Structure 1
Amino acid sequence: MKKFLSLVLSCSMLLAVGCTNNTGGDLKASTNVTALTSEIQVGGIVRTTMPSEPDHLDPHLSAAADTKAVMNNVFEGLIRFDEKGAFLPQLATDYTVSADGLQYTFDIRTDVTFHNGEPMTMDDVLYSYKRLSGLNGETPLSSKFQSVTSIEAIDEDTLTFTLSNQDASFLSTLIEPVIPKNYTEQSSKPIGTGPFSFVSYSPAKSIVLKRNDAYYDTTRMASIDEIEFRIMTDESSILMALKSGDLDMAQVLSMSVPALEKDFTMTSFPQNMVQIFALNHDIEPFNDLRVRQAINYAIDKDLIINGVVGGYGSKLYTNASPVMGFWFNDLSEKEPYPYNLEKAKTLLEEAGFPNGFTTTIKVPSNYQTHIDTAQVLADMLKQVGITLNIELIEWGTWLDTVYSGGNYETTIIGLAGKLDPHETFVRYQSEYAKNFYHLKNDTYDQLIADGIHETDLDKRAMIYQQAQQLLADEAVAVYIMDPHLIMASKPNLKGYTPYPAPYFDATKLYYVGE
């Protein structure tokens, strides 16, 4: 039975320009420059930015959202997702599911070539997914495949995955890419099947991709010849590069909007991103619920949204953005921790900290929004006696020390949203390898276990909504906002399209002439 087409993240349409929660005013997908009505041009180079170094060029070893957003142009899995969150065929053309929900059988495309000109075969597909799942006899590279017990080729273009139990999130795992079997230079010269091929990576400078003229899917053939992602973190440098014509488009902060809106097309939209002030539950005093609640009461999120991002943010109360739509638990009517300094002080006194305490926040130095937010947090927490020392650390160090190692007291980061709710909320499960909050909660663990096996969509949504409520009740962290992405583009550059998961889709970009 045909399954592609319909699994959509309801209300992903909230990604449309101009979110109603944007208290800073809506940016329209328009410009004050005289409207351009000319025809689409084929060709051209687009120069844009990415805010961090890639964490790894091998897609099976990469975890950073910024890296995936760029390299999703190079790599493809059996399925892909569109701008509304719907799953669509990619390297597979169709699939069937067994009556017991334990076997997924895929028809694999036979007209695909890798960027080195070699045909993609069943051996490459088997190699890729066995490598990810650990069914090659080595350490699994992804926990997403833990329910997969076997991957077998029925013939040269038919593949079956067998699961140990029903896994409602399984389709979303197959966005993970297929790479050439036993190719040994994936970490330096990555090769995929996508609409763009890798040209170069210059550390601290840029990643360059070029159009794949041999791309098999002519309906998604790119218009532009090349795209250069410049690794830039300094807002003033980005602003100058845009105004000088050295950049064609870039993500900017709200403070740059007045200087750009006359000459550039400006768009804004929520990202399905959660900015989180994380607290390490293994470190005193954050193992005390009262302390975590006190910190939540001491934070004025509206002030952060207005002061740090100019109002371009949606206030959050748990680890979910409204962009999650169908899965989202809207806690705004009964805000769990409204700003209340007296309540915060009382809770700290009850926990044995009447005079507060001193702690350190580790902030990745390449994200100005997080740096600015940390400074505001420090000022706010000072009002209840908590001294928050800010420690700026390099992005790679943050990934190793905090994300992978869980070695910190507090931190601030943006957690990218996922297409399936399990991928978002499994991050807090006790046994999850990168549960850097160190939450250990049996009730929560059981909800996540139930959610992954529940195939009834309404019942499954209720489970994840309960998980969101528990994260709020336990004050696991301070969930601040979904900071809206603001994009500035030259008036003759069109087509930038937001997605509910990390993806800078270069196939959509095109220039128009005068």
Structure 2
Amino acid sequence: MLLFFVSVLLVACSDKGSNEAGEQAAKANKNEEKMGGTVRIAMSTEVDNLDPYQSAATDTMSMMDNVYDGLLDTDEAGELVPAIAESYDISEDGLVYTFKLKENVTFHDGSELTAEDVKYSYEKLAGLSGEEPISSQYEVIEKIEAPSDFEVVITLKEKNSAFLAANIRPILPADYDNHSEKPIGTGPFKFAEYKVGQELRLVKNEDYYNDKKIPNMDEVLFKIMPDPESAILAMQSGEIDVIPGISSQGKEQLGDTIETVSAPQNMVQLMALNNQVEPLNNINVRKAINLAIDKDMIIDMVAEGDGVKLGSNFSPSMQVYYQEGLEDTYQTNIDEAKKLLAEAGYPDGFNLELTVPSDYQFHVDTAQVITEQLAQVGIQVEIKLMEFSTWLEKVYNDAQYESTIIGFTGKLDPYEILRRYVSDYNNNFVQYENEAYDKLIHDALSATDEAEMADIYKQAQTMLAEEAASVFIMDPYRTVAMKKGLQGWKMYPIQKFNLEDLHYTE
């Protein structure tokens, strides 16, 4: 049966003439491509875990995505496309997914990938192997069968509209558990070496099953550089070739020595408020905080204008599901904020701890602006900096915090974005609890009509805004800086590094 793909709609306009010109330019550029070489990429955060089933950091996943492949992948428009799977079929009742695998796919140790590897991986993810589920996305799986070497049949417990997009997760070799030290996947690059705090090195996979995507580059070095200025200086001196996220000021410093690619990230930067700690468990306090914060000022000062203001936990890049107008729910109003604080019993304000991962200067800068803004209503903010690995443990896993600044990365399915606020979601560290919201997300998951599904998700976004679940700030643009002569970097609705397409032209 035919099933629509959950996708991000990116609008582009062109005519026949420009298409022909683009094709000719692409052919000319292809002729200029130089094979081989090394590309050095500056990363602001440390690797949290090389094992893709234990990693929670988006930057780590983006780097290691080049080592692993899933059954499906995504293209630049957010459409799901085949990877290890050659094709798939979904039963009429929406419960049975049958994947036909490509043959001659090999892991980096030379072993052939078969249905048993997929079965092993998904049983591990779903907790069907006797251990706790690694990912709640897979808890919906009832059983997995491998009727032949290249066919996998997955039966769900109930209809789940988000399951198809979950099939981009990496497939691991059966019964191999040393990925934290020596990762083995099927991707276009092989793991070579990792030096803690210094660099991650990947090398070209000459035996990659997709011969059209065998990398041009011989080697990729991810250099750990938490300080943005150090990365810029390293690029100026020729020690770095790519900075995946650079500010306008950084672009000015590098001038015409670089080429850039820029697009919205499908990210939600927010000031997360722990709804279960006082006084943030009071809706009037949360509304007051929203009214005291000037998002336009943050976008201008921190993102230098390169950001889209948000009103809920959803980016307009997901056009089909985005509820317009919520960005104006809390227009800055200091007097009204003070009034709400007084009604809540805090006429003189209160002290608030704001935890921020020190590895992300963008969030640190945002925290500093917010500190000044909240001081206008008597809320005295103490910024608490911690390394991202510690943030993951203390905030993301244990919810031991009052407020924090973080970015929720984009997903290919709206359910994966909005489920973060479902009461029993494992990593609902905002600790938002609302039975009506939970029901909306459950209803969306079982919906079969896209228009109905979109309406439900819009209602959920509105609820988050009206209850001031947190302060939803912006979707900041991501600008990638590359040295002159390096081309091929593409932008996706999720953070993804297409290193197999990179090449030098000079």
User: Which of 424, 430, 433 matches 1:431?
Assistant: 424
Contact 2:44 2:228 in 1 (8 A): no
> How far 1:38 sits from its partner (Å)?
7.3
Task: Flag as ranges the 4+ runs of structure 1 deviating above 4 A.
Answer: 35-38
> How far 1:254 sits from its partner (Å)?
2.2
Q: Give the Cα–Cα distance (whole angstroms) in 2 for the partners of residues 184 and 87 of structure 1.
A: 28
> How far 1:352 sits from its partner (Å)?
0.6
| Amino acid of the structure 2 residue aligned with 1:505 | N
> How far 1:39 sits from its partner (Å)?
0.8
> How far 1:411 sits from its partner (Å)?
0.5
Q: Give the Cα–Cα distance (whole angstroms) in 1 for the partners of residues 8 and 236 of structure 2.
A: 38
Corresponding residue for residue 396 of structure 1? 389
| Amino acid of the structure 1 residue aligned with 2:107 | F
Task: Report Cα offsets for 1:326-376 as digits up to 9, x if no partner.
Answer: 1111125x7100011111111101111100000101100100011111011
| Amino acid of the structure 1 residue aligned with 2:461 | Q
Task: Report Cα offsets for 1:172-226 as digits up to 9, x if no partner.
Answer: 1111111111113111110100111111111111111111100010122211111
Q: Give the Cα–Cα distance (whole angstroms) in 1 for the partners of residues 255 and 402 of structure 2.
A: 40
| Amino acid of the structure 1 residue aligned with 2:299 | I
**Secondary structure of the residue that 1:261 maps to in structure 2?**
helix
User: Which of 71, 74, 79 matches 1:78?
Assistant: 71
**Secondary structure of the residue that 2:256 maps to in structure 1?**
coil
Q: Give the Cα–Cα distance (whole angstroms) in 2 for the partners of residues 38 and 92 of structure 1.
A: 31
**Secondary structure of the residue that 2:81 maps to in structure 1?**
strand
User: Which of 410, 421, 425 matches 1:417?
Assistant: 410
Corresponding residue for residue 145 of structure 1? 138
Q: Give the Cα–Cα distance (whole angstroms) in 1 for the partners of residues 163 and 481 of structure 2.
A: 36
Aligned CA-pair RMSD: 1.6
Q: Where does 1:82-231 land on structure 2 (aligned, <5 Å)?
A: 82-231=75-224
Q: Where does 1:10-409 land on structure 2 (aligned, <5 Å)?
A: 10-13=8-11, 39-250=32-243, 251-331=245-325, 335-409=328-402
Task: Report Cα offsets for 1:12-41 as digits up to 9, x if no partner.
Answer: 348x9xxxxxxxxxxxxxxxxxx9997111
Q: Give the Cα–Cα distance (whole angstroms) in 2 for the partners of residues 120 and 36 of structure 1.
A: 35
Task: Report Cα offsets for 1:361-419 as digits up to 9, x if no partner.
Answer: 11001000111110110000000000000010011110000000001001010110100
Contact 2:187 2:208 in 1 (8 A): yes
Contact 2:261 2:489 in 1 (8 A): no
Q: Which structure carries more relative contact order (alpha carbon 8 Å, separation 6+)?
A: 1
Corresponding residue for residue 497 of structure 1? 490
> How far 1:124 sits from its partner (Å)?
1.1
| Amino acid of the structure 1 residue aligned with 2:5 | L
Contact 2:266 2:410 in 1 (8 A): yes
Query: Percent same amino acid at aligned positions?
Result: 44
> How far 1:267 sits from its partner (Å)?
2.8
Q: Give the Cα–Cα distance (whole angstroms) in 2 for the partners of residues 487 and 100 of structure 1.
A: 43
Q: Give the Cα–Cα distance (whole angstroms) in 2 for the partners of residues 37 and 111 of structure 1.
A: 27
> How far 1:429 sits from its partner (Å)?
0.2
Unaligned runs of 5+ in 1: 17-34
| Amino acid of the structure 2 residue aligned with 1:479 | F
Contact 1:79 1:90 in 2 (8 A): yes
Q: Give the Cα–Cα distance (whole angstroms) in 1 for the partners of residues 419 and 48 of structure 2.
A: 22
Corresponding residue for residue 442 of structure 2? 449
Contact 1:36 1:491 in 2 (8 A): no
Task: Report Cα offsets for 1:280-310 as digits up to 9, x if no partner.
Answer: 1110000010000000000001111111121
Q: Give the Cα–Cα distance (whole angstroms) in 1 for the partners of residues 94 and 234 of structure 2.
A: 53
Q: Give the Cα–Cα distance (whole angstroms) in 1 for the partners of residues 210 and 371 of structure 2.
A: 51
Unaligned runs of 5+ in 2: 15-27
Contact 2:354 2:382 in 1 (8 A): yes
| Amino acid of the structure 1 residue aligned with 2:189 | F
Shift in CA distance, 423/37, structure 1 to aligned 2, threshold 3 Å: closer
Task: Report Cα offsets for 1:89-146 as digits up to 9, x if no partner.
Answer: 1111111111111111111122100011111122211110000001111111110012
Corresponding residue for residue 22 of structure 1? none
Q: Give the Cα–Cα distance (whole angstroms) in 2 for the partners of residues 122 and 269 of structure 1.
A: 37
Aligned positions, number: 491
Q: Give the Cα–Cα distance (whole angstroms) in 2 for the partners of residues 232 and 321 of structure 1.
A: 28
Q: Give the Cα–Cα distance (whole angstroms) in 1 for the partners of residues 192 and 8 of structure 2.
A: 37
> How far 1:52 sits from its partner (Å)?
1.0
Shift in CA distance, 102/8, structure 1 to aligned 2, threshold 3 Å: closer
| Amino acid of the structure 2 residue aligned with 1:116 | D
> How far 1:2 sits from its partner (Å)?
6.1
Contact 2:9 2:78 in 1 (8 A): no
**Secondary structure of the residue that 2:289 maps to in structure 1?**
helix
The TM-score, its normalising length taken from structure 1, stands at: 0.93
Shift in CA distance, 90/2, structure 1 to aligned 2, threshold 3 Å: farther
**Secondary structure of the residue that 1:200 maps to in structure 2?**
strand
Q: Give the Cα–Cα distance (whole angstroms) in 1 for the partners of residues 237 and 9 of structure 2.
A: 38
Corresponding residue for residue 19 of structure 1? none
Q: Give the Cα–Cα distance (whole angstroms) in 2 for the partners of residues 10 and 486 of structure 1.
A: 19
Contact 2:102 2:150 in 1 (8 A): yes
**Secondary structure of the residue that 2:158 maps to in structure 1?**
coil
